[in-house]
Amino acid sequence: MKRREVGEMVKAEYDERMRMAVSNESNINPDDLVIVSLDDLGKIREELIKNERTKFKRKFLSNRNAVIGSVLVLLVLILAVFAPLIAPEGPYVMDVSNRLAHPSMAHILGTDTFGRDLLARIIYGAQMSMIIGASVAFFSCVLGMAIGLYASYYPKLDAVLMRICDGISSVPAILLAIAFMAVLGPSPQNVILSLTLVYIPTIARIVRSRALAVKEMTYIEAMRCIGATSNRIIWHHIAPNILSPVIVQTSFIFAKAIIVEAALSFLGVGVPVPTPSWGNILMEGKTVIYKAWWMIVFPGIITAVSVLGLNMLGDGLRDVIDPHTK
């Protein structure tokens, strides 16, 4: 049977039941009822979605934190994406005769201890920091959502998964990341893996707490009654209704991952040299801090700007998504 025929049968049955329901009401004339077709319902849904998007854009553009944070993050992303155009000489070209040169027209931010252009190393370091931060945020979000959703839906699984999350959360993030890196060894891939394991419990706890409330709603019970599978209920009906706090928390994890990666590289257990990273640039600069202040100041500024932008973006998104704000 075609979908259109099914729709017509449903509409006919609905019309008949509505007329029977109001036949006993003296103040209601069945002929005055307006029956909405399936096509009209689709149009109404599209209009509601359009209105929600317009409202979101208006609230986002009117939120100062969201706009400023977006601009700062966008600037850093532009530097990272267009690094080969901004610094075509690359981050590895050495000029030993020009070591620790002061900022000048030839080298806008000066050079490092090997005569490499500091601007090029910072820009290419932005690529590494953005890749690591985005990867950690993405994998933490996906895995944390899966753990939180299944823990909220299956009580027996909840007892096991949440105790594991409690154990991971009991150790400070930086110490746990150092322990993982000591076992795995320094490399960008291992940094991503270590920080993902560190931040999964954060997302899992948030998802679980929201999913427990959504699971008890009437429409979830209705889905069980009509025979929907557990996976369908979890991913199609619970997950979409808990995305708002997850998106906000993901932006904060992005910022935290950049800071922790810089700390790990500064300690020598993160991104290995000579691969440019804001952390290992700062590590090189600490030995010549009194001779070459630019080795500390400029990497520190770009790190602070990136983290500030992500935090402001997260705060702005939290205000924009909050239904209680106008």
pLDDT digits (tens, 9 = 90+) for 28-37: 555 555 555 6
pLDDT digits (tens, 9 = 90+) for 12-25: 655 565 555 555 55
- Model pTM above 0.75: yes
Residue 282 and residue 261: Cα distance in Å, rounded? 12
Cis before residue 274, ω within 30 degrees of 0?
Answer: yes
pLDDT at 222: 83
Residue 177 and residue 159: Cα distance in Å, rounded? 25
Spans of the chain below 50 pLDDT: 1-3, 6-7, 10, 26
Supply the DSSP string of 174-242, one letter for each residue. HHHHHHHHHHH-S-HHHHHHHHHHHHHHHHHHHHHHHHHHHHTSHHHHHHHHTT--HHHIIIIIIGGGG
Q: What are the residues whose beta carbons fall under 8 Å from the beta carbon of 19, sequence distance 6 or more?
A: 30, 33
Please provide residue 260's backbone torsions phi and psi, each rounded to the nearest 5 degrees: -65, -40
Residue 197 and residue 209: Cα distance in Å, rounded? 20
pLDDT at 123: 93
Domains, in order of start, for the chain: 63-321 (1.10.3720.10)
pLDDT at 44: 74
pLDDT at 268: 87
